[in-house]
Amino acid sequence: MTELSNLQFDAQHLWHPYSSVKNPPLLHEVISAEGVYLTLDDGRKIIDGMSSWWSAIHGYAHPRLNAAAKAQLDQMSHVMFGGLTHDPAVSLARRLIAMTDASLQHVFLADSGSVSVEVAIKMAIQYWFAQGKTDKQQLLSLRGGYHGDTFGAMAVCDPVNGMHSHFAKVLPQHLFAPTPTCREDAHWQDSDIAAMRSLIEANHHQLAAVIVEPLVQGAGGMRFYCPQYLRELRSLCDQHNVLLIFDEIATGFGRTGHLFAYEAAGIVPDILCLGKALTGGYMTLAATLCQSKVAEGIAADGQGILMHGPTFMGNPLACRVACESIDILLESNWQQQVLSIEHQLNTELSDLSAHSLVKDVRVKGAIGVVELTISVEPFMAWLPAFIVEQGVWIRPFGALIYIMPPYIISTEQLSQLTMAIKAIVNKVSESVKS
C-alpha cells in the first residue's frame, strides 16, 4: 500500500484553524523558515506577511533565540510551577515588570492568549467577590472585538458578527458597546464614548470589568481607533468603580509603534493581557499582569487564591526564549523599524483607496489593512495558491486583506508584499466582473 504524502494525510486527518474536514483548506507544506522567508516543499521561498499570526516579530531562526532554546533544553525543558520556581520564569517576570508601567507589579504566566484573557476575567470577578460585592460578575466589551476561542474569552467577543454564534446559548451573557469610530484624537467627539458611558452608568453595580483591545481591534475586523477613547474609558471606570482590562495580545511589543498600545493614551489598565510576540513566535506563552490593588484585593477575604493553574504554567523553555526575545527587541531600533514600515505601507497602499473594490485603506504601526467592499471567502478555493504565486504568504479573511510583517523586513521585501496585495485586489476584481 502506497503511503500517503504529508499533504494527503493532512487533508484526511488533520483539522486546521477555522476549517471543515469535508472541505479541507488548500495547504502548502513548510519545510523550513529563516528571516522573513518560509521555504515550501517544492523549493519556493515566500515572504511571510503575517509573522505567523503576528508573533514572529524578529523573523525565523534568529540565532540568539535558537541559542537560548538550545541552552535551556540542556538544562531543563519543564518543571511544574506549583510549589516550585525557576530562573527563566523569575527573569521573565523581572523583564515584564520593568518594561510595563510601574503600577503593574504582579505576573501570571499563562499558556496562550485566550488563557490570559480567561485569567484576567477570573482576576476581575475574584477581586470583587473578595470585596463582598458578589453581584459584580458581568463584563462589558466592544462590538467588533476578539479575545480568543476559549469559553470565557468567547463570551466577550462580538456576539453578532464574531465567530462564536453557535455557542450563544451556553456562553455567559455580557454587555457590548458600539465599535469606536474615531481614528484620530483630532476628530474626537464626545458622542464616540456616549454609548459606553451610558452602559457603565446603568450597569456599574454588576460590572466587574470592561475589557477592550486598545487602539486596534484585531481578528474581529482589524479596526483602528483613537487614544482619547481609552482616556475617557479609564476615567469612566475610575468614576464608577469598574476594573479596566486591556487585551494587548496582538498590540503588545511594539506592533502599533508604542511598546504597548496603552502608552499612546497615557493611561494604564488594571489588568493587562500579553501573548503572541512574547516569545518571538517560538512557542506558546502568554502573561496576565495586574496592579497591586487587584492582587491584594483578591486576598482581601483572607484567602486570595487565584483559581487557575495550567499544567505548563511558567514553562522554563518558553520563558527563557521570551526573555531573549524581549532583550532582542529592547536592544534593537524597533521604533524606527516600525515607523519605517508604517511610512512605506502608507506610501505604497494609499493608491488602492481609489480602487472600485476597496472600501478603506488603513495603516497603524506595522499593520497594513485593505478592506474590500465584498468578502474574499467565495474566492478562497483558488486565492491561497494565487497568493503563493506572488512569492508571499498573506491570509485574507472576510473582506480584509492585511499584513503584519516581522519588524526585520527590508523595504524590498515589504514592497513585494504591498505589490501582492494590489495583485490580490485586481485578481478578485477580475473574478467579480467575470
According to DSSP, the β-strands at 138-142 and 175-177 are parallel
Extract the C-alpha cell encoding 343. Answer: 511610512
276 is catalytic: yes
Residue of 423, 369, 370, 375 whose CA lies nearest to 397: 375
H helices of 204-333, in order, are: 227-239, 262-265, 292-298, 316-331
User: Could you write out the DSSP letters of every residue in 209-260?
Assistant: EEEE-SSEE-TTT-EE--HHHHHHHHHHHHHTT-EEEEE-TTTTTTTTSSSS
Query: Which one from 158, 192, 247, 270 is the annotated catalytic residue?
Result: 247
Residue 253 CA to residue 275 CA, distance in Å, equals 9
Query: Is the distance from CB of 152 to CB of 123 less than 8 angstroms?
Result: no
H helices of 100-209, in order, are: 113-130, 151-154, 191-203
Query: Is the distance from CB of 320 to CB of 109 less than 8 angstroms?
Result: no
Give the orientation angle of helix 334-349 with respect to helix 411-433, to 10 degrees.
30
Q: Quick check: helix, strand or coil at residue 31?
A: strand
Query: Which one from 146, 229, 262, 402 is the annotated catalytic residue?
Result: 146
247 is catalytic: yes
Extract the C-alpha cell encoding 426. Answer: 485586481
Query: Is the distance from CB of 124 to CB of 208 less than 8 angstroms?
Result: yes
402 is catalytic: no
18 is catalytic: yes
Rg for the chain, CA atoms, rounded: 22
Active centre residues (catalytic): 18, 146, 247, 276
